Structure 1
Amino acid sequence: MKNYIKYLSIFTLISLISISCDTVQTDNKLSENSKTYEKVWAQFFDERDMDVINSQYFTEDVKVVIPGDDIIGIEATKDYYGNYLTGFSDAEFTFIDLFGQGDKLVKHWNFKGTHDGDFFGIPATGKKLDLSGTTLILMEDGKIKQEQDFFDSLDMLTQLGLME
């Protein structure tokens, strides 16, 4: 009986150490993914650097999930997000919150700017936009693999003077 308790105690201790190591690895992965993700979008919006959308930070088959046909690939993703820089010369992008687990992140964000350029084919309206939303992100090997934004598109179109 003593040996049974001894072996059970050793097994329990090893199990706890193993679980603790897995938790540390998951926390480290989340921390690294979050840092990379924040760095990319800060560089994109703050420095207006579209070239940060590259194979160092994005998988070759990166996907932006949108209604209709998804945006797939680095160049297509760069073109897609470039609309925010060309459409709003004073674009401000703020992370309100970023959290997740392992390779999955959730970003709560706010975007502000004056619509003074072409934005997805919509000519400049001169209107101010203040829009908040949420993005689901999937990372793979420390790179952005997929994004899907959720925001009130009716509110956006109303603020731009395109809907009443």
Structure 2
Amino acid sequence: MLVTLISFGCNNIPENYIDLENDSITLSENSKIYEEVWSKFFNERDMDVINSQYFSEDVTVVLPGDDLVGIEPLKNFYGNYVNGFSDAEFTFVDLFGQGDKLVKHWNFKGTHDGDFFGIPATGKKVDLYGTTLILMENGKIKQEQDFFDNLDFYTQLGLMD
């Protein structure tokens, strides 16, 4: 009788059970994909890596005001960083998360020597830290939302005192 109770008790998995093993595998795969894409984009200047292999067709960049939706708008948006800072260095300070949700702590360094969202080159060096919240879906980047100190960034560019 005791063996029967133990057998049935061990096989009874609650409905709200979190599958941490599969969640861990998903996190590992998502982290690898995410880090590979952005390292290629920023550090190798490979703008073509922003494509439907790695991004959802309706990928969204959450911004104050209107969000950007779609691969081409995302490529154009982040292309401003590559074009505006030809010596840009992008570093992952940390990347962690759970399942399809990632958090990236990053560092961006470079010299503003090109057009950046319509701002002409200032020749100023920047060293900026920030955080990005990421949502993955089916192994593709679905959504990003960046957080960084804009006042500090614009001050480093010489645009504010």
TM-score range, shorter chain: over 0.9
Task: Give the corresponding residue for 2:97.
Answer: 100
Q: Separation in 1 of the partners of 2:66 and 2:18?
A: 41
Match of 1:52 in 2: 49
Corresponding residue number in structure 2 for 1:145 = 142
Q: Give 1:23 deviation, angstroms.
A: 1.6
Give the TM-score normalised by the residue count of structure 1: 0.93
Please say if 1:73 is aligned against 2:63: no
Render the CA deviation track for 1:111-143: whole Å, top value 9, x for unaligned.
Answer: 000000000111100000000000000000000
Asked if residue 34 in structure 1 is aligned to residue 31 in structure 2, the reply is yes
Partners of 1:15 and 1:112 lie apart in 2 by: 53
Distance 1:99 1:62, change over 3 A: same
Normalised TM-score (structure 2):
0.94
Between Structure 1 and Structure 2, the one with more helix by share is: 1
| Bigger mean CA deviation after superposition, 54-63 or 21-30 | 21-30
Runs of 5+ consecutive residues of structure 1 not aligned to the other structure: none
Deviations 1:23-53 (A, max 9, x none): 2111000000000000000110121001000
Two-structure CA RMSD over aligned residues (Å): 1.8
Report the equivalent of 2:19.
22
Aligned length: 160
Q: In structure 2, what is the Cα distance between the partners aligned to 1:143 and 1:41?
A: 13
1:118 paired to 2:115: yes
Identity across aligned pairs (percent)? 71
Is it true that 1:158 corresponds to 2:155 in the alignment?
yes
